């Protein structure tokens, strides 16, 4: 019989039943927190679904009901057939996807490099780097035309440019404008994720002997991966659907998908609206597919 005082008795180890109860309680707390998060997000999600879903349904209705159709004709897929039979539309798909991919990769690479340089700098330098964010895309595009077009200011000052950046067939000027505009946006997202906690984890990794490359791979990248992927999705979706920069700086052919849709309404008043709706709906489907594929990689550092 143990006659020691209860306070001096050896501590008892929780049994399997207590461990199971603890795990169940933790899971219940997580489920309750998730329910509260869903309830908090419900109003915003309802607005997004109503506005965006209504727009998609309206575009779908317009794409299968051209103005030239009679009331008794009903829905028809003639506009979709004409759309995919048009070589100009197929060229627009290739051109738009190329612009979106190149712009997104260039902007994310530049943003990561700039954010790594600015994270230890002062507020003034960070604010200076973020100045292009509120500037309208159209203003940047017009400025690019004034400076970089043949006979523009840069052409007159330098006596000629080595590359044709305005109205070039490959869309180099479009990419440069987008990279100038979207890189600061991504930098702001990355700097918000690179807080004091990241610096402390990097110091701990350095003490344990990790090289700069290893710290970038094992510490920095898992921290910035989520914001960078989400920002890249936003940039890619914007480039897919925007038309003011390609219209101002881009070539006359091939057109982007947004330019194709705009031109379709001008070429034919009756069938152009359904062609434009189908083209824009196709663009929206691409953007949604990219978001669905990429979101899983932003859930956590491992992408699981």
- Mean pLDDT value of segment 23-43: 81
pLDDT in tens, 268-282: 777 788 888 899 899
pLDDT in tens, 135-180: 999 999 999 999 988 888 888 888 878 888 899 989 999 999 999 9
* pLDDT of res. 257: 93
Asked if the model's pLDDT at residue 214 lies above 70, the reply is: yes
- Mean pLDDT value of segment 190-198: 84
Torsions phi, psi for 48 (to 5 deg) = -65, -45
pLDDT in tens, 49-84: 888 788 888 888 888 887 665 545 667 888 888 889
Asked if the model's pLDDT at residue 183 lies above 90, the reply is: yes
Q: What's the burial of 68, exposed, middle or buried (CB within 10 Å: 0-12/13-18/19+)?
A: middle
Asked if the model's pLDDT at residue 299 lies above 70, the reply is: no
Q: At what angle do helices 87-118 and 257-267 cross, to 10 degrees?
A: 140
Supply the pTM of this predicted model. 0.80
Domains in the chain: ranges and CATH:
42-140+169-298 (1.10.3720.10)
Q: Please state, in angstroms and rounded to a whole number, the distance separating the CA atoms of residues 246 and 166.
A: 10
């Amino acid at each position: 019989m143990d006659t020691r005082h209860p306070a001096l008795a050896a501590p008892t180890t929780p049994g399997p039943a207590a461990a199971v109860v603890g795990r169940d309680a933790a899971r219940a707390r997580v489920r309750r927190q998730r329910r509260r998060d869903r309830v908090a997000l419900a109003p915003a999600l309802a607005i997004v679904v109503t506005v965006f879903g209504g727009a998609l349904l309206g575009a779908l209705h317009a794409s299968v009901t051209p103005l030239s159709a009679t009331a008794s004709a009903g829905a028809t897929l003639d506009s979709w057939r004409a759309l995919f039979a048009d070589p100009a539309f197929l060229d627009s798909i290739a051109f738009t996807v190329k612009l979106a991919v190149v712009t997104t990769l260039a902007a994310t690479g530049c943003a990561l490099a700039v954010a790594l340089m600015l994270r230890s700098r002062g507020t003034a330098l960070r604010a200076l780097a973020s100045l292009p964010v509120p500037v309208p895309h159209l203003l940047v595009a017009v400025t690019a035309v004034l400076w970089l077009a043949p006979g523009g200011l840069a052409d007159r000052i330098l006596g000629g440019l080595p590359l044709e950046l305005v109205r070039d067939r490959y869309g180099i000027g479009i990419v440069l404008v987008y990279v100038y505009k979207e890189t600061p946006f991504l930098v702001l997202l990355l700097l918000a994720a690179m807080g004091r906690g990241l610096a402390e984890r990097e110091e701990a990794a350095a003490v344990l002997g990790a090289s700069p490359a290893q710290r970038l791979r094992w510490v920095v990248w898992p921290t910035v991966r989520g914001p960078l992927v989400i920002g890249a999705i936003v940039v890619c979706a914007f480039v897919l659907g925007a038309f003011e920069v390609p219209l101002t700086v881009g070539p006359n052919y091939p057109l982007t998908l947004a330019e194709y849709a705009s031109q379709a309404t001008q070429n034919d008043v009756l069938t152009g609206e359904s062609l434009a709706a189908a083209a824009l709906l196709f663009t929206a489907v691409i953007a949604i597919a990219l978001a669905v594929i990429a979101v899983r990689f932003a859930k956590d550092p491992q992408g699981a």
